Amino acid sequence: MTEDDQAVLSLDGVRFRWPGQAADIVDINELQLEAGDHLFVRGASGSGKTTLLNLLAGVHTPSSGTIRLLGTDLGALSASRRDQFRADHIGVVFQQFNLLPYLTTIENVTLSCAFSTRKKARATESNDVATTARRLLRALNLDDEFHSAPVNKLSVGQQQRVAVARALIGGPEILIADEPTSALDADNRDRFLELLFQEVEAQGCTLIFVSHDPQLAERFTRTLELRTNAGTR
Amino acid sequence: MTLLRIALKSARFRRTSLLLTVFTIAISVTLLLGVDKIRKESKSSLLNTVSQTDLIVGARSSPTNLLLYSVFRIGKATNNVSWETYESIAAKDEVAWTIPISLGDSHRGFRVMGTTSDYFDFYRYGSAKPLVLDSGSRFDGVYDTVLGADVANDLGYELGDEIIISHGLVSADFADHDDKPFTVVGILDKTGTPVDRTVHISLAGIEAIHVDWQGGARSNVTLNAEQALQLDLTPTSITAFMVGLENRAQTFQVQRQINDFPDEPMSAILPGATLAEFWRTISTIEQILFVISGFVLVVGLLGMLTTILSTLNERRREIAVLRAIGARATHVVMLIVLETLLVVTAGCVAGVGMLYGLLAIARPIVARRTGVDLALTWLDPTQLGIMAAVILGAMLVALVPGLIAYRRSIQDGLALKV
């Protein structure tokens, strides 16, 4: 297992099923990601994509097998330690509705640092949190005029980029994106991916990107195909 | 701290429904504190009707009855106390002062009380407040009268006016002492006690109007006012008397002596204790009121629970986002509880504000009508306790939606079911 310690992510015989279910919804024998890897997880709906992400983010624990993130066995942590681990080392972007409607753009981005002293420390290395957030937003093509705006004034594409900024502030090692482009049209999608990759690479972050859209796969260094055999959910 | 800021902003985002909830809580809190305030004010006003008096003595009867007729001028004495007995007790070494009380007549619905000028010297009410003349002077002549504030106010009397006293407690033309009118020489300040509704005359005055009466009716021999003055107007009996002792510690000893007085059956009561006992019998109503306001509060809290539960669905996304950022499941519970705390605290503050607003409006009216001063005092420990209980209760209630949100956030994980 020593070589695993170098891996950002390593899965070993991970299986998951909901109580009362007949078959495993997630069944991955082995998977290893190095720092900076970009993994494309492909699968139709019901193939357990979301469950896998919940496992990787430490929200759920596998029925059997081990998940190691940055050398830490998630299964060995308590639920609240897993939450803290997620806060410190993982950024998450959802398909849609990533932002809290009662906060401004900037507040949404800096919120990540509220639950993690590690992220906060890294975000304030050279500047204050707000300045770091503005820099990230600008890098993601969001001009200053949007920074103090209520987020429901933003387009869906803009909202998704704000979500990326929030996920990346404080330099998490892993970024998990769950169908982040499915609500975007083709133009927006391509621009979004462009910016996403640019920032992920700038931070040396490991990306785990889930989508049902096979067209996107070519941009990634690794691909994981999920089978739909278990698909009852 | 961050969680509090999130809770605040989130609550502001959904302010319409939450403000209604705040208002509901505010009304229940106002009601609860208001009832408590009224209860306390009426209790203290009752208990303060008479003070500094160690014993009240009358013919043998129940303590409450003696208290009612001697202090509140309600009901009638069963019997009188003879003047000799009164004098012998008043002459005791332990006794510092006495106030004789002679009741039985009235003036247009207000009781007439015969007494001596010791009444003005020694009678105390509230926190040892003495009687103060608003205008005029004490009675001096036999046909002088000093009116309580309400009597003068309600009947529109001024100094120098003449009044006719009726025999007995019901005004009837045939039983008027119309041959011996009294002159108003003094009007007392408002006290908020039964003194306000009393017509005070001297014991000699009581005697004078009754010299030509026998057994409740005029005798054949009539004496006019001037003729009556020629007679010895020392009373043969009085209704009751108040006693102040040299030394408070002797209260029970003197009480026993009076209760065991060999020549005449009498009762001596401790006004404070009897007032407290009397209060207990009538305070049931206030307790019922208090319980009802408690239920109003419970309804308010349940309303709040309903509101918060109904927002849980629309907050599902919000909670999933927070979880993704790293909020623990316990943070989710705390968020809900914090929001409840905000709503209830705002409700309490608004409720207290409404209470003081109402008190400020009601204060002059109540003071004019009843003489009770609704002092705008700061919340006392009981009232603070009530509010603490409200907030604590609300937080317990909030655990229900909190735990529901907790369980859901675990089930939902990071998946957003749109």
H/E segment holding residue A12: strand A9-16
Q: Could you tell me if A3 and A50 are in contact, meaning their C-beta atoms sit under 8 angstroms apart? A: no
Nearest CA in chain B to A58: B413
Closest CA to B37 of B333, B321, B395, B286: B286
Instruction: Number of A to B CB contacts under 8 A, please give it.
Output: 81
Contacts with A89 (C-beta within 8 Å, 6 or more apart), sequence order: A69, A70, A118, A172, A173, A174
Residue B72 has a pLDDT of 86
Residue among B2, B6, B326 minimizing CB distance to A83: B326
Cα–Cα separations (whole angstroms), residue B379 to A157, B23, B349, B386? 55, 20, 12, 10
If you average pLDDT over residues A47-53, what whole number do you get? Answer: 82
Contact A166, A98 (CB under 8 A): yes
Nearest to B414 among A53, A103, A111 (CB): A53
Domains and CATH numbers, chain A: 37-45+78-232 (3.40.50.300)
Please tell me which residue of chain B has the smallest CA distance to A95: B416
Exposed/middle/buried for residue B182 (C-beta within 10 Å: 0-12, 13-18, 19+):
buried
Q: B175-229, pLDDT tens digit by residue? A: 777 788 999 999 999 888 889 989 999 999 998 888 877 766 677 777 777 788 8
User: In Å, how far is A217's CA from the nearest CA of chain B?
Assistant: 22
Q: Count other Cβ atoms within 10 Å, centred on residue B285.
A: 10
Which of A97, A112, A166 is nearest residue B418 as measured by Cβ atoms? A97
Min Cα separation B387/chain A (Å): 30
Q: pLDDT by residue (tens digit) across B32-86?
A: 888 888 888 888 888 888 888 999 999 999 998 999 899 888 888 888 999 999 9
For residue A146, the 8-state DSSP code is G
Whole-model pTM: value is: 0.72
Does B352 contact A at CB distance below 8 Å?
no
Q: A74, A89, A100: which to substitute to probe chain B, counting the most B Cβ within 10 Å?
A: A100
Shortest alpha-carbon distance between residue A172 and chain B (Å): 11
Single-letter amino acid code for the residue at B211: V
Arithmetic mean of pLDDT, A34-40:
88
- Counting residues of chain A whose pLDDT is more than 70, the rounded percentage is 95
Q: Residues of chain A whose C-beta is under 8 A from some C-beta in B?
A: 50, 53-54, 57, 59-60, 79-80, 83-84, 86-88, 92, 94-103, 111-112, 114-116, 166, 178
Query: What are B130-177's pLDDT values in tens digits?
Result: 999 999 999 999 999 999 998 999 999 999 999 999 887 765 556 777
Q: Over the stretch A98-123, which tens digit does the pLDDT of each residue have?
A: 888 888 899 888 888 888 888 888 88
Minimum distance, in Å, between the CA of residue A2 and any CA atom of chain B: 29
The average pLDDT across A25-54 equals: 84
User: Is B415 in Cβ contact with A84 (below 8 Å)?
Assistant: no
Tell me: the pLDDT tens digits for B122-132? 999 888 889 99
Over 80: is that where the pLDDT of B242 sits? yes
Task: Give yes or no for a contact between B79 and B93, defined as CB atoms under 8 angstroms apart.
Answer: no
Q: What's residue A4's pLDDT? A: 46
Of B321, B410, B414, the CB nearest to A100: B321
